[in-house]
Amino acid sequence: MKRTSVRRAGVVALALSSLMTVGATAQADARLASSCGLSFCLYEHDDYAGAEQEFLFTSNNTCANVTTLNNKASSMRNPSAGRIQFYNNANCSGSYGYAAAPGSSDSDLTNNGFDNKTSSVKRVSP
Ligand SMILES: [Ca+2]
Ligand SMILES: [Ca+2]
């Protein structure tokens, strides 16, 4: 029951931010695009705040270790066309704990039980 209400809150927040993006200036849009582009980004805090680490995958089934944000990532953006799998261990060992759909973002990984855990990420075919 509680889980359902949390998810609804997330959807409402996403809708609000989309509306804000539509009304935002071109300058704000450019900043948004340049902050992550077509790659994949992790952020230190919720709501895409704090330090950012950007990953540029050139092919699927490629693993990348999280460096500066190891065990610190709390939100993510995945504007890429691939699915991104999150691993608690380095080198994408073990099973992934969370997967981000292509073109998705998550302002708070806590709902998925993956706050401050990500140590490596892998892009796979969607
Ligand atoms: Ca964090
Ligand atoms: Ca970890």
pLDDT tens sequence across 42-55: 999 999 999 999 99
Task: Assess if residue 44 is contained within a domain.
Answer: yes
More confident residue, 31 or 125: 125
Ligand sitting nearest the alpha carbon of 73:
1
Task: Assess if residue 87 is contained within a domain.
Answer: yes
Closest CA to 81 of 105, 59, 102: 102
Task: Classify residue 26 by burial, with Cβ atoms within 10 Å: 0-12, 13-18, 19+.
Answer: exposed
Ligand sitting nearest the alpha carbon of 92:
2
20 Cα: distance to centroid of ligand 1 (angstroms):
25
Task: Assess if residue 108 is contained within a domain.
Answer: yes
Task: Assess if residue 6 is contained within a domain.
Answer: no
Task: Assess if residue 65 is contained within a domain.
Answer: yes
93 Cα: distance to centroid of ligand 1 (angstroms):
22
88 Cα: distance to centroid of ligand 2 (angstroms):
4
Task: Assess if residue 30 is contained within a domain.
Answer: no
Number of structural domains, the chain? 1
Residues in the chain: 126
Dist. CA 89–CA 124, nearest whole Å: 17
Task: Assess if residue 51 is contained within a domain.
Answer: yes
**pLDDT tens by residue, 78-122:** 999 999 999 999 999 999 999 999 999 999 999 999 999 999 999
> Tell me, what CATH number does 111's domain have?
2.60.20.10
**pLDDT tens by residue, 6-57:** 454 444 444 444 444 333 333 444 444 447 887 999 999 999 999 999 999 9
Ligand sitting nearest the alpha carbon of 110:
1
pLDDT, residue 18, reads: 41
| The two structure tokens encoding residue 43 | 């952020």
* Structural domain of 62: 37-124
Dist. CA 124–CA 33, nearest whole Å: 23
Task: Assess if residue 116 is contained within a domain.
Answer: yes
